[in-house]
Amino acid sequence: MEKKYFGTDGIRGRVGQSPITPDWCVRLGWAIGRYFLNSGNEAKILIGKDTRISGYMLESALQSGLISAGATVELLGPMPTPGIAYLTREFEADGAIVISASHNSYEDNGIKIFDGNGEKLQDRDELVIESLLVQPIKTVPAAELGKANRLTVAQERYSGFCAGQVGSLLAIQDLKIVVDCANGATYQVAPLVFSKLGLNPIFIASSPDGLNINKDCGSTDVVFLQETIAREKADIGIAFDGDGDRVCLVDHQGSLIDGDDILYFLAIDLLDRGEEFGGVVGTHMTNMAFELAFGDKGIPFFRADVGDRNVIRAMKEKGWLLGGEGSGHILNLKKTNTGDGLITALQILEIINREKKSLAELGNAVSKYPQILKNIRCKDPESLILDHSFCAEISSCTDRLGERGRILVRKSGTEPLVRIMIEGQSRQEIESIGGHLESIAVSILKD
């Protein structure tokens, strides 16, 4: 069966349009409740969210549906996605719901579901929930209705867990650090974590109003962070995305350190310290220069399909402990079982502490191949990807690059977009190819 609602990262869409509506989310909450209750007579489900304004509405709707199914609800409030995953295990919940559209703007929202291990549900489980969605809601008898509680210790528990992942005292109190919270889910917990470690960063984009999440800030737009670093003469900048599972860094010169760089730092650090981690899982978007650099170091490397769920699946199949994406979604199974922006940032600070090098010095390790990304918005991405003339142009341009580069065309799992990535040794050449393919796509969509 093909899934109707669940994409590569849960359910996502524009607020007020199906399926991100309050009435539909009541039904979804009921279906999730029934799914977890099928495994037993009781079910405790955590609900956490980011800071977008629609979170209140969707939280109430999901809560209502869950309670009508007989499930107990524990409300976490604003909490990073990886924090919700951790607390699911910590509080021995049966599952959890994350209300977030990650790096998207406030107009969008989404729902992700975790199992009792704090891991995203498998395809087969999502199909079961979709089959329950078509059934009429049957409210349990009043005596069997679930209850709702608010967990007031959530921030303290998760911040303690993050701080506890730092192996030794960080002697970097003299470093001037700027932290960009993207006006998102890390705005409360990040200050707690850094405070526990004796650090006092400058926090920016940490005053959410429900509408400013990811707006001109965060890991998807580091200009504000770069400007702040220059103004404050800071040593390092850390930028999270709206739900806190991604992170990127900026050095004192304003240079961006993305997920590919971070993955390389972590791998080399583990290698130098003699720790076993098997190999590294990247994606088809990972820059070619890193694949070659890993090979030079004798580190096995594998490309998975884009999406953290695909990365972690490949890691488990291979028994490897390190993987991630250029977006800054990094998985280190030595630390936690999901991508965690805060923990990843702390690992980099540990490396800086051990190596006694600046982020700029670490960041020069690999010279990346130029890479550009073209996003083509269209109602039916699949039809463009399968269009014969478009495929012919992709093939022709791929031949033109030869072994000097590559082209990857894929459908976005979170937005109605076709993403075209072009990579090669010559920026002029890939920009020419990118502009050509974009114009061909636009022409096809107009016909």
Active site residues: 102
Q: Residue 33: which of 141, 143, 138 has the closest Cα? A: 138
Residue type, 259: G
Token pair listed for 102: 């990650």
Q: Give ∠ CA 193-311-344 in degrees, rounded to 5.
A: 20
Residue type, 434: G
- Report helix, strand and coil shares of the chain as percent, to nearest 5: 40, 20, 40
Number of other residues whose CB lies within 10 A of the CB of residue 213: 32
Give the single-character DSSP code of 122.
P
Q: State the alpha helices, DSSP H only, in 114-258.
A: 123-133, 154-163, 189-196, 223-232
CA atoms of 188 and 190, how far apart (whole Å):
6
Task: Tell me if 179 sits within 8 A of 190, measured CB to CB.
Answer: yes
CA atoms of 205 and 135, how far apart (whole Å):
43
Task: Tell me if 9 sits within 8 A of 309, measured CB to CB.
Answer: yes
What phi, psi does 133 have (nearest 5°)? -65, -25
CA distances for 137 relative to 30, 70, 121, angstroms = 7, 12, 22
Task: Tell me if 81 sits within 8 A of 112, measured CB to CB.
Answer: yes
Q: How far is CA 380 from the centre of its chain?
A: 24
Residue type, 277: F
- In terms of residues, how long is the chain? 447
Q: State the alpha helices, DSSP H only, in 251-340.
A: 259-272, 288-296, 308-318
Token pair listed for 84: 């919700």
Number of other residues whose CB lies within 10 A of the CB of residue 273: 8
- Cα end-to-end distance, the chain, whole Å: 32
Q: Widest CA span of the chain, in angstroms?
A: 69
Token pair listed for 447: 């016909």
